Chain A
Amino acid sequence: MVNKLIVSNILYRPIRTALSALAVAIEVAMVMLFVGLAHGLVNESAKRLEGVGADILVQPPGASFLLAFSQAPMSMKIGDRLKDLPHVLAVSPVLFNFNSAGGLNIIYGIDMPSFVRVSGGFAYHRGGPFQNPYDLLVDDLYARANHVKVGETISLLNQGFHVCGIVEHGKGARLFIPLQTAEDLLQIQEKASIFFIKCTEPSYAETVADDIRQLLPKYQVLPVKEYMSLMTSNNLPFLNDFIAVVIAIAVCIGFLVIFLSMYTTITERTREIGILKSLGASKRYIIAVILREAGLLSAVGIIVGYGVAVIARKVILAHHPTLFIDLTAEWAAYAAILALVGSLLGAFYPAIRAARLDPVDALAYE
């Protein structure tokens, strides 16, 4: 019977119900999308680097595992010493250039022959390898997002680059230029930001890494497996704080809307609460009615929120193919719990207020 009362109350005020559920839906979708975007970008970035095919990364002393923060270059001669180590199949130096036009991108300055040895080579969707110093390879996602075609000239790093090929994504960066050109643009010679090392067998990675640590004690030597384990949102500075702030804002929205909705409902239904009290409804009964109503609104909002998140993800990815949004069951559950708890907390004070109404005053309410 209480369920019938709750459902009929909800259906009796469709606009209020729709707005309240929509607020919860926005809360749920916001949590899922922001968290999904943060995790998606981190995971995708890590997978892309893993896709280079190297077993070990060697970076300059003090470099961060976040490659974007690592630009201090190393001498190219180090690469020659690395090549001589046992079980090293190939060493590829890469120089990072940063492009901020049209979004922040790392451009890999690559030595094509060695990069091909490490990575197994690019899979070309269109065009082919570099032919000229100011040739540029872009991956398919970048090309789709920016409507880039082979043969076009696009402006990067204050230079015009000729797009010579579109390659399958997943080889570290989205943009590749010849190493020599990257050095010229940075006005440095014979330097690399990172060495990608391919072992003769992946199982030698730890052994080779130990050898490199002995050879280059101050340098950052990271097997790719270890790198992958470090590339989680927990290890990224401020990302968890950012996620926490977004979640807090989303929960506040849900809390405040449900609070306001239930508060106005209580005022509007003062007489009905008086009727329930005249029938002998206890405070607990009235609190339960209000909280269950908020819970039902919240449940509707959660389901709608899942739909909004899925649709929003499709729309975002259609317009921005380089973004990655991981909608996980785990975070769907967290978002639902947050929305439900926020709604119940939002409804709690109005419920207490309703339960404390004087029945005589409530029955006289116009």
Chain B
Amino acid sequence: MEPIIATRDLKKVYRLGKVDVEALRGVDCTVHEGEFVAVVGPSGCGKSTLLHILGGLTGPTSGLVLVDGNDFSKMTDTDRTRFRRHKIGFVFQRFNLLPTLTARNNIAIAQDIQGNGFNPHRFNAVVEMLGIQDKLDHRPYALSGGEQQRVAIARAVICDPKLLLADEPTGNLDTDNSQTVLNMMGGLNRTFGQTVLMITHNPEAAAVADRIIHMRDGRIVAD
């Protein structure tokens, strides 16, 4: 079976002022559909850069990036945006909900951007699974961190993405809420076969995953 993610000698160099910073120094990895993968490593090891490239938020400097068979290194920003719209869901450490919208509209806007219109069946199934039925009319500031992250997960999966990318999803949560969020992501993976790639430096969070990739200095050092 074709892997959903495949990278070969993936490199990313940022230019900060007059200094080139090598964030990724040749990453080779594959992730298959239905896997729950945790990427762990110290701060600055390139985890977030890898996630941004896999999510199409930024392009690689060199190397091959195949996501669901699409070569990101050859795609334009517009093409990557279109791909992201239909195939990728993001969950962030800081929840990143739109502060002016209610939880309901924060979730629904993902469907709107995708352009397929509001799907009430999918919407109801997702909010029920995440247990946020009672919170839909609340704005983010009226929700706890755990509730905000559950809304963010609902928004990420509402369009049934091929790949769910989570960037330190428990980084801003207490232990109980962290466990709840991890259980939900695990549940999505087990119940619906949702492919999840999660970045974390929390070993307990990583333990929920089927597979753990260790990164250091822009490279994968253990898989």
Binding site for B on A (CB under 8 A): 1-2, 4-5, 8-9, 11-12, 271-272, 274-283, 285, 358-360, 363
Contacts and interface: CB of A to CB of B under 8 A. Distances in A.
B58 A360 contact: yes
Contacts of B120: none
A278 B78 contact: no
Q: Categorize the interface residue count of chain B.
A: 20 to 34
A264 to B, nearest CB: 16
Interface of B: 52, 55, 57-58, 78, 81-82, 84-86, 88, 90, 92, 96-101, 105, 108-114, 118, 155
14 contacts: A1-B108, A1-B118, A8-B100, A272-B98, A274-B96, A277-B57, A278-B84, A278-B96, A279-B84, A279-B109, A279-B155, A281-B85, A363-B57, A363-B96
Given A359-B58, A360-B52, A363-B92, A279 B101 contact: no
Contact of A275 (B98, B108, B112): B98
Nearest to B88: A280
A280 B96 contact: no
B100 A5 contact: yes
Contacts of B99: 12, 272
Given A1-B109, A359-B57, A363-B92, A280 B82 contact: yes
B113 A5 contact: no
B15 to A, nearest CB: 13
Contacts of A9: 100
Contacts of A276: 98, 109, 113
B110 to A, nearest CB: 5
Contacts of A1: 105, 108-109, 111-112, 118
Contacts of A2: 112
A279 B81 CA distance: 8
Of A5, A279, A282, chain B has the most CB atoms within 10 Å of the CB of A279
Given A278-B84, A281-B113, A5 B101 contact: yes
A280 B84 contact: yes
Contacts of B97: 275
Contacts of A277: 57, 81
B142 to A, nearest CB: 14
Contacts of B118: 1
B70 to A, nearest CB: 14
A280 B86 CA distance: 8
A92 B114 CA distance: 80
Contacts of B111: 1
Given A277-B81, A282-B82, A282-B85, 9 more contacts: A1-B112, A5-B98, A5-B105, A5-B109, A272-B99, A276-B109, A278-B57, A280-B114, A285-B113
